[in-house]
Amino acid sequence: MNSSCIYSLVRFPHSSDQHRDLAEDVFKTHDLLFLDRPPSQPTKIVCYDFKDLAFASYGEYWRDFRKICTLHLLSLKRVKSFQSLREEEVAKLISKVSVMAGSPFNFSESVFAMTNNVSTSEAFGKKCKDTEAFLAATRAISKLRKSGLQVFDLFPSLHVLSVIIGL
């Protein structure tokens, strides 16, 4: 971790060596405190009550889940089996970039679409037929998440509903 980052966390003057030492001490002693991501209601809903790999709390469940993913989904044989699919999608992206040379276009959007095509093809064996709708919904959710705005900020009464139905 970079010392300027630690400086912004602790906010007291020390040399950068002291920052590095402090960071090492903090992470060695309290590393389990830094493993979990902060919870949010939308993440809880989308990630099945934090049961996915990215948002599950560190513990026995997460370790078992990681082991299954590593052994079965991310094995060398499995990853190599999708190499041609990834190469095909990257070639399409490169082709699009060359066709659009000199013209403005949203490269981030193109990379996101390529990633979605690869992910859905690898996960489900075919491309998502509603890719555009999915990408639009993902963009909308991403914008809300980046803004820090929660649905419950707009409709506070929904928070009570989410507690009642267990979301």
What would the pLDDT profile of 72-84 be if each residue is shown by its tens digit? Answer: 888 899 889 999 9
Residue 162 has pLDDT above 70, yes or no: no
Locus of tokens 């309290």? 30
User: How far is Cα 93 from Cα 79, in angstroms, rounded to an integer?
Assistant: 20
Task: Provide the token pair at 73.
Answer: 């989904």
Task: Provide the token pair at 120.
Answer: 């859905």
Torsion over CA: 51, 49, 111, 133 (sign): positive
Locus of tokens 């690898």? 122
Q: What is the pLDDT of residues 22-60, one digit of tens each?
A: 777 777 777 777 677 777 777 777 778 888 877 888 889
Q: In 3D, which of 93, 122, 118 has the Cα closest to residue 108? A: 93
What is the phi-psi region of residue 36: left when phi exceeds 0, alpha when psi lies from -120 to 50, beta otherwise? beta
